[in-house]
Amino acid sequence: MAKPKRYSGEELHARLIFAVGIILAVVFAVCVFGFVYALMFVTQPVSTQSPNDAAFIDLLKTLTVFLTGSLGGLVMSNGMKGKKKETTEGQNEES
Instruction: For residue 90, name the pLDDT band (cuts at 50, 70, 90).
Output: low
Q: What is the pTM of this model?
A: 0.57
pLDDT tops 70 at residue 67: yes
pLDDT in tens, 11-64: 888 888 888 888 888 888 888 888 788 777 777 677 777 787 778 778 878 888
Q: What is the pLDDT at residue 77? A: 76
pLDDT at 65 over 70: yes
With both helix axes pointing from N to C terminus, report the angle between 9-40 and 51-94 in degrees, rounded to the nearest 10.
150
Which ranges in the chain belong to alpha helices (H)?
9-40, 51-94
